[in-house]
Homo-oligomer: A and B are copies of this chain.
Amino acid sequence: MRIGELAKKTEVPARMLRYYEEQGLISPRRLENGYRTYDDYLVDRVRKIRGLVDSGIPTRIISNILPCLDQPQTIVVKNAEPGLRELLVTERDRMTEKIDFLIHNRDSMTRYIEAIDHAANSSRETARAS
């Protein structure tokens, strides 16, 4: 598919897709006329990129961990680049920390919201009683 279709499917502006290419996150092939052409699997990949960026993971890191995120445990593992495993473990652990942190704070927010609701109920009852 061409850039416009991918943009529509991913909700990511074409402009941004070119930007991600510039950052080395996606590498579409080209048609004879120079137009970029994207394989289907890139739809999923672009969504992952968005999610990772939204989670505060810098593009430089994203480019390293993207290979892990493609569904079939591709034979790419054969690379065995030394240091890659290290980096992946580090980033995986950092991610786990982030998850725990977010869960903790999400739960605090939930309790706070419930406190608001409870306060609203109480004052309603107080008003009714008066």
Bound form: Cα–Cα A103–B96 in Å: 8
B-contacting residues of A (Cβ < 8 Å)? Answer: 48, 51-57, 65, 67-69, 73, 77-78, 80, 84-85, 88-89, 91-92, 95-96, 98-99, 101-103, 105-106, 108-113, 115-117, 119-120
The docked-state distance in angstroms from the alpha carbon of A53 to that of B105 is 13
Question: For A115, what are the chain B residues with a Cβ–Cβ distance below 8 Å?
Answer: 73, 77
Q: How many copies altogether? A: 2
Given known contacts A68-B108, A105-B69, A80 and B113 CB-to-CB distance under 8 angstroms? no
- With A54-B98, A80-B120, A99-B106 given, can you name 20 additional A-B contacts, CB distance below 8 Å? A48-B105, A52-B105, A54-B56, A55-B55, A55-B56, A55-B98, A67-B112, A68-B109, A68-B112, A68-B113, A69-B105, A69-B112, A77-B116, A78-B119, A85-B113, A89-B113, A92-B106, A92-B110, A95-B105, A99-B102
